[in-house]
Chains A and B, each alone.
Chain A
Amino acid sequence: MAIQILRDLRGLRVHVVHPPDSERTSLVEHLRRIGCMVETLWPVPECWSEGADIVLLAIEHDVRAEIQRLLKSDGAHRPTLIAVVSYEDPSTLQLVLEAGAVAVIERPIRPFGVLTNITIARSLWIERREAEKKMRKLERKLSGIQRIQKAKSILMDGQGLNEADAYESIRRQAMAKRLSMDDMAAAIIHANELLQYRPKDD
């Protein structure tokens, strides 16, 4: 895993969102030396580009609104974000945190440390993305279990079955209708809701 990140550095598409100045020049030069494919952007774009694996974002206070607009844009293509800062005062740090940056590069730019920051940022970002994926999967599974539980109690109450028989009944119906257990459970809950419906003014 660790060495794979280093291997993948070559050919990573890096967007440098930074005003055109000598800092940007030395940053871009060093990224190219490392072997990344670099594009520069300024002003701050309206949304995340599909073509970037890593974005180095200059945290400039005079474009705070533009940065916040970018951060609020659709997160589907959200790349690994590294903040480029000149100050470490709380308002800068707040912006860095809000941006969800996983590493920080300080100005003036020095070549030493850029490679380390990119590597760590990439590693954290990959870890975070995998953890999110896992969490979403677990959440789905958990709510499925809750649904089956609820469907079981409906059957147990309404038909006087014990828990094992209720489960078996859902499983059989799911198989007969070629549905997943989860969908079957949802159908039972839904049907029950319809049967239980009582107009309020009754």
Chain B
Amino acid sequence: MALIEDNTGNWRVGVLFSQTGVTSGIERTQLNATLLAIEEINAAGGVLGRPIEPVMYDPASDPKKFRSFAERLFQVDRIRLLFACYMSSTRKAVLPVVEAHRGLLFYPTLYEGFEYSRHCIYTGAAPNQNSLQLAKFLLSAYGNRFLFVGSNYIYPYESNRVMGDFVSQGKGKVLDELYIPLYPEAKDFERVVARIKKTSPDVIFSTVVGSGTATLYRDYRAAGFDPTRMPIASLTTSEAEVAEMGAEAAEGHITAAPFFETLSSPAARRFVASFKEKYGADAPVTAGAEASYFQLHLAMRAVAKCGTDDPEQVLVNLRDSEFDAPQGRVRIDPENNHTYLWPRIARLDRNGRFQTVWNPGVRVKPDPYCVVQSLDDWSVDDLQLLHP
């Protein structure tokens, strides 16, 4: 019976992004982009004539809820492909469920690396696709005395370890490493501001995620610090966090990501225009949204090719497949299920818009198990042209 229903009904896919909770700002952009891609495919006649039907829940930025909704999706809703997760803690909660049901998770978020599951496709950046480029840029443009500020969970610790390694390669110094709770209070930011004042670093490397990001940037501005001399640099501060903090707090700070809303390529313009048309001119379009968008297209193209959403067959079809994503042509690496991406660095202007300051113009192979990366592997020559 199930087989007949499968062949006539909709393609049901699982979608888990938080619409409430601490990281809902960014996750909503990922949800929006996933739904946009589904709408595009359905408008064009679906996959092999059958429409895609997203089955969604709100896991509220809570790993436990992520896990129980994932179980429900596989056991009750009978989905086989799942598009989900922002924080690593939620991915770690969902992945065992995906593996137990022999499903396939598509994870559209940068993360700290050191993971491989054949039941997961990673479409966000691994550290060798963003941290290395960011370090190179910061060391050459601002100096080598760093202060680290992060949320208290796995991603900030590992990102700081990686960044600390680059700083010492640049003969620099990590002045201090501060961690604030995932749900921070005012006093946590007071401590950070006091530490910035005391140490006066060249760069503040922030791995603060979620709604605390806006407070950090606002408090920084209120304390009267100068972002042209001492910027906050981040891998996670995206258009979504900027929308929360406002342009004034955002100006002058730096982010590394494979996609920014302001990219000028035709593919990027098309994607951003459709996104804004559906969700409004002020709806932020983030790198996480872009990954969510292209991974959905990539997945469903594979489903169309093999005529089934059986994860084993989809996986075989995805291997080595190329796709013209808004950021440029991407490709799933068959060795590690991560994605070849295009690193870029941007600075926020006075309107709170990311302006690219370094675009190496190279697609980088993912290397999720890279313990030590060498700064020397990257030339910063083309940076001089773009840096004012």
Contacts and interface: CB of A to CB of B under 8 A. Distances in A.
A131 interface: no
A7 B116 contact: no
A9 B370 CA distance: 10
B371 A33 contact: no
Given A30-B116, A33-B116, A111-B116, A7 B335 contact: no
Contacts of A6: 371-372
A29 B369 CA distance: 13
B336 interface: yes
B371 A29 contact: no
B321 interface: no
Contacts of B118: 111
Nearest to B372: A7
Nearest to A5: B371
A111 B117 contact: yes
Interface residues of B, number: 12
B114 A33 contact: no
Contacts of A29: 335
Contacts of B116: 30, 33, 111
A34 interface: yes
A33 B369 contact: yes
Interface size bracket, A side: 10 to 19
A30 B116 CA distance: 8
B336 A10 contact: no
A10 B372 contact: yes
A35 interface: yes
Nearest to A32: B335
A35 B335 contact: no
Contact of B370 (A30, A32, A35, A111): A35
Nearest to B114: A115
B117 A10 contact: no
A105 to B, nearest CB: 15
B97 to A, nearest CB: 15
A141 to B, nearest CB: 38
Contact of B371 (A9, A30, A32): A9
Nearest to A6: B371
6 contacts: A6-B371, A10-B372, A29-B335, A34-B369, A35-B369, A111-B117
Interface of B: 114-118, 335-336, 368-372
Shortest beta-carbon contacts, A-B, top 8:
A6-B371, A34-B369, A111-B116, A7-B372, A33-B336, A33-B369, A35-B369, A33-B116
